[in-house]
Each structure stands twice: as C-alpha cells, then as structure tokens.
Amino acid sequence: MKIIGTGRAHPAKVVTNAMLEEFLDTSDEWIKERTGMSVRKVISDEKLEDLAIEASIKAIEDAGLKATDIDYIICSNVVNEYVTPSLSCIIQGGVGAKCACVDVNAACSGFIYALDMADDRLKSGKARNILVVAAEEPTRMVDWSDRSTCVLFGDGAGAVVVTQGEGMICSRLTTQSKTSCLYYKRMLEPTPYITKEETAGPMYMNGREVFKTAVLSSAKDITKLLKQAGLQPSDLKYYILHQANMRIIEAVANYLKLDMSYFPTNVERCGNTSSASVALLLDELHRDGKLQRGDKILMSAFGAGFTTAACIIEWTK
C-alpha cells in the first residue's frame, strides 16, 4: 500500500490545564511535568461520527479521488455512542461511498492495525482504494472526578486513503492478554434471565504499569522493525509514536539515542486521542509540508489489551 491522502478533524472545545484546576485537585505544573500536556480538545456539541466524516472527506479530497472510488472502509474505534451499526457504516453514508465497511478495536494501536489490514487487502487484490479512519472519544470513558485519568485524554479523528503501491516497508503487531491494567466496562441492558453479578464503571488504568509496558514494547517493536528493514535509527525522518505521554516518547527517543527532532508530537495540544493520535499527527506533518517523497517514517502505538502495532512506511505522495 501507499498513502495518497490524509485528513483530520478536531472538536472545537479547548480545555486548558487551568480549566481542569477549577474542579480537580490538580495543577498546570503537575500535568505539564508528568504528561507534557497543556491543552486537549474535547467533544462538546459535536458527534464523533461528524468528526470522522470531516476527516475522511479531507483525506479523499487530498487523494484526488471521489467517494465512489473508495472500495473498502476500515474504522479504528474503541468507543462511540453506537454499539451498532459500526462507525464505518455511518462514515460510508456521510462521505457518499458505496463499499464494504468494518470497524476494528485494537485500542490505541488500532490505526496501525487497520493500516496493516488495508495493506493485506490491497496485496490480495480485493480492493484498490481504502479509506482508513481512526475516530476516538476517550474523554467519554473516564471519570471526570478522577484526576489520574481525566486530565490525560482528548478526542479527534484522523484519516488516510491508501492505494496499491510500495509504501509499506514492514509492520509488526503484538497482543498480550493483560486485561487488568487498563479497561473500561459498560453495563448491557438487563434481561429477565440474568442472574450473574455484573459490574461497570469508568476507565480503570494502572498508569505506572502502562507506562513501563508502553516504553518497553514500543522500544522492542522499533528495534525489531529497524533490524528487519536493515535501517539505522537515524535513517528515518520521523518516529510518529502514540501520543499518550511526552515522557514515554522521550524515553523511547533516549533508548534509540536520538534527539527529539525525530519525534514530532501533538500530545501537548491534543492530549491522548487513543488510536487517532498517530493519524492526526501524520496529517499535521503532511499538511505542514514536513514530509518529502522518499522519507521513511516509523509509526508505533500501544494500548489496552495489551496491544502494540508498528510499521515503517515510505512517504510516496
């Protein structure tokens, strides 16, 4: 596959650290020092599907295609108002496409999982132009009275259009069933027959455990991919890492002995936007003219599961 178009959409509401200080026992200083975040964009009157459609339309336009040229849609999403139909079905109608659609949930690694699936589908010849969207509203999973989680997240949608080409150099997906360090459980509807005890509640996250696992797994994925591709760390133009915490990104940079100029970020402006973070950042770099044909880019993400996904692509646009 190769990427031929990108797009993104953010919610309008900008929530600063000072705004969080108004109702939480927290401080701008703590949040900046521990996470690197200054503001996050949070859904208020928008619907997630509208952000996903806006990002998708921009990506299709950037690719120079019509919506009817898209013959498969994959949407990475963890949570949205609908359990069914899938978000990708809603996006299809919103952009005016007429193709098969599917959602994937690989938590924050989902965008790279979806790219990998798109690559396989293009290789098999079953599709020509695939829209890959990552649309997330993690701010709806957290308890907004819990300072240890709610300050971390933001919402948004990023999209790419991929077509047949030589842009995917290599990829690596992993999953370890480690479900107790990060989860969000919702209550289903009652029935007259349910006798088991059920629990639900806002997102639970063991931040320190996630932090450790994230640094180790991202470093491992990156090392393996560089070896597989026969590349040195400095051969890559950018490392687009999942934007969960600036300190995780700095730890990976340190491990690779690279300075932070290789690691573009949006975490300071967008918070952790789950699987949308890598897609949002890719679009930002592209639209800011920071990507040149032939640049090699490594994308790496991790999330609940515990899942990880990474790939090296060549920018061919």
Shortest approach of ligand ACO to residue 279 CB, angstroms? 14
Shortest approach of ligand ACO to residue 248 CB, angstroms? 6
* Collapsed DSSP state (helix, strand, coil) of residue 85: coil
Among candidate residues 188, 250, 189, 196, the one with its CA nearest the CA of residue 218: 250
Give the count of residues interacting with ligand ACO (CB under 6 A): 25
Shortest approach of ligand ACO to residue 278 CB, angstroms? 11
- Phi/psi of residue 263, nearest 5 degrees: -120, 80
- From the number of C-beta atoms within 10 Å of its C-beta (0-12, 13-18, 19+), residue 166 rates as exposed
CA angle 79, 307, 120 (to 5 degrees): 90
Strands 238-241 and 100-104: unpaired
Does residue 148 interact with ligand ACO by CB under 6 A? Answer: yes
Stretch that binds ligand ACO, among 84-92, 204-212, 230-238, 307-315 (CB under 6 A): 204-212
Nearer to ligand ACO, 71 or 209 (CB): 209
* Half-sphere exposure at residue 185, Cβ-oriented, CA atoms within 13 angstroms: 9
Interface characters, 93-132, with ligand ACO (x: CB under 6 A):
--------------xx------------------------
Among 208, 230, 232, 292, binds ligand ACO (CB under 6 A): 208
Which structure tokens are listed for 297?
């880019």
What's the CA gap between 163 and 225, in Å, rounded? 22
Interactions with ligand ACO, residue window 255-314 (CB under 6 A): 272, 274, 303-304
Instruction: Give me the catalytic one of 108, 150, 270, 311.
Output: 108
| Crossing angle of the two packed helices 28-35 and 246-255, in degrees rounded to 10 | 30
Neighbouring C-beta atoms of residue 174, cutoff 10 Å: 16
Does residue 211 interact with ligand ACO by CB under 6 A? Answer: yes
Nearer to ligand ACO, 163 or 274 (CB): 274
Does residue 202 interact with ligand ACO by CB under 6 A? Answer: no
- Cβ 41 vs Cβ 13: under 8 Å: yes
Among candidate residues 89, 304, 93, 308, the one with its CA nearest the CA of residue 219: 308
* Collapsed DSSP state (helix, strand, coil) of residue 304: coil
Interactions with ligand ACO, residue window 3-62 (CB under 6 A): 26, 30-31, 34-35
Nearer to ligand ACO, 31 or 311 (CB): 31
C-alpha dihedral sign at 309, 120, 114, 295: positive
Instruction: Give me the catalytic one of 10, 272, 286, 311.
Output: 272
Interactions with ligand ACO, residue window 221-250 (CB under 6 A): 244-245, 248
Instruction: Give me the catalytic one of 77, 242, 286, 311.
Output: 242
To the query of whether residue 242 is one of the catalytic residues in this protein, the response is: yes
- Phi/psi of residue 283, nearest 5 degrees: -65, -40
Shortest approach of ligand ACO to residue 62 CB, angstroms? 26
> Which residues does the annotation mark as catalytic?
108, 242, 272
Q: Which residues bind ligand ACO (CB under 6 A)?
A: 26, 30-31, 34-35, 107-108, 138, 147-148, 151, 182, 205, 207-208, 210-211, 214, 244-245, 248, 272, 274, 303-304
